[in-house]
Structure 1
Amino acid sequence: MNTKHLAEILNISIYLKDMKANKIVHSLQLITTILCALLSVSAIGQDKIQVVTKTIEKQFEYTYGQTIELKAEKANVMVTGTKGNKVALQVQFIAKHPSKAVAERELSYLKFGVNNRDRTLELTNFIAIPKEIKGVESKLEIRFILSVPDHCNLKIYNRYGRTGLSDVVGDILIDSRFGNVSAGMVGGKVELITHFGELEVQQLSGTASIISQKTKIRLLDVNATLTVESKYGKCYVGLNDGCNKDIKIISEKAEVRLYTNSFDRFNYDLTGKEVSIPDLNTEVRSRDKKATFKKEFNKTNKEIKISTTNYPVIITTNKQDVL
């Protein structure tokens, strides 16, 4: 091998080493950039959220026949029943932001009002943003915790918030849009209106009417005369083992399931895409999407009437089927 060839080989070797070194440097630079970005995101995520709160408490005398009316928006509402003739109200205002100064300033945007006139105690909430402010930076919350006497007249209208009731008996209207409703031990004359959310009630008694749209309904331990009108939302109903009341469910484009521990306690008028009653080994289907099943066990029995379109109706004695 002559000197010229040896020099060419050495040049190629040096070139390859330089390429490898450049790749290593580039890779290290890329890794460093990624690590810096991750550390930056982590630091942002670790910014401590400042929580600023304010609580207002009020109490009112309740006169029999008076209506308690709450009109809420973007609020979480919890109502409990109590003995006596007092209405107790606690309002919690909450603002969350990394800057405590911002949270304190914007907490003041949360407002609520009280109008205690002749036959109605009216409660409202709203957000008052100054005109010069383009937008709200904090996460704002408002909570109503309301205690009402037994057998009162109660109306709650809530938009974009959760509504809860516990141990409330009376003339009750709940109208919820874009929020979930949960209730336990509710009775009297109950009207529930829900659009775009979920409705779950346990231990429902008295007379109940439900109107819903695009709401998943689950009613458990029902011992009430019940009427349900539902569109585009599954409806699962579990009857109390001692229930002997008329049940009527009219549904559009959604499955309906109903549990009873004693099938022959009721008479039936059922319509759906198919009707399934496992305990009777009965399943009725129809090509025109309208199967019917009618059965009268005893003329004095209460009736379960269910109608839905395009989806099945299922009657079961297995409680797990509606949970």
Structure 2
Amino acid sequence: MDLERKLMNELRAFGLESAQILIVDDAPLNHRLLSHVLSDLGKIMSAKDGLEGLEMARQALPHLILLDVEMPGVDGYEVCRQLKANRETAAIPVIFVTAHRDAEHEIAALEAGAVDFIGKPFVPPVVRARVITQLTLKRQSDILHQMAIYDALTDVFGRRYFDMRLNEEWARHERSKQCLGLLLIDVDHFKQYYDHHGHFSGDACLQQIASAFKQCCTGACREVARFGSEEFAILVLDTSQDQLVQLAETLRAAVQQLTIPHGAESSTEVITISIGGCAMVPDGADPVDIVCASDTALAQARQAGRNRAVIVPAAHSITQ
């Protein structure tokens, strides 16, 4: 019980005292037994076969899946392989439930993507320990994944993840012949603001701006990232130049309406932003081209007096 108490404390520390666990098994008795043993760990969901399990996993995205190996139709190995092949469900840990513990079956399960095994007949303390351990490891993995993707200060995407997403979407838009948009955003006179108000106020200012950007960029087609110390980037999918212009003006106005007093020597009383952007169909070009075009447009916005957006058409941004 000392081990379980330790594991439960770790689980609570990671905020998973109410996990979602999906049981995929064609035997009702196994569902009842496992549900009874694990009921205090969170929400228990049940699927009676592999196909139903795949659908429920895609819809609910549970924290953990307990998967029977031997089921009619699609067996557990194939279900696990399909889960791991799907980007949305690949990170969900799968524990196989099986009466076979020989080397051949264990190797097959590991090759399919399982992280552990629960033997039949069930031993409740062992079942709980294995499940709690995997839930804890899953939460630790999620935290590391979050740290790798998001900027710690502003809670928008970080630069490394943004670069990866730009390359992915560039390739996708090149295949689909759709227009991809990019906005690069600079906080006007931020160094003076930072020097005048200090570290904490500077961080709070960036957090407010990032929050305003996220409110303006709801939906999967607009991805906000911190591009530099006081620079942000917004990747706009399947867009047009007119839509990019409208979004840029919405963002500019949203930041100005925050009315964050500048206080330092500046041409503006409140914090403002300058925006440079470009919309183009990736046709034989390189992702760096849209970044360079947007950066050039941003420089033009600064030179024109700041607190404005300059969006350049693709024809003016790439030398074919």
Same fold (TM over 0.5): no
Point out which structure has higher relative CO (alpha carbons under 8 A, 6+ apart).
2
Higher CA-based Rg: 1
Kindly indicate which of the two structures has a greater share of residues assigned to strand: 1
TM-score, structure 2 length as denominator? Answer: 0.24
Higher helix content, 1 or 2: 2
Under a length normalisation based on structure 1, what TM-score does the superposition of the two structures give? 0.24
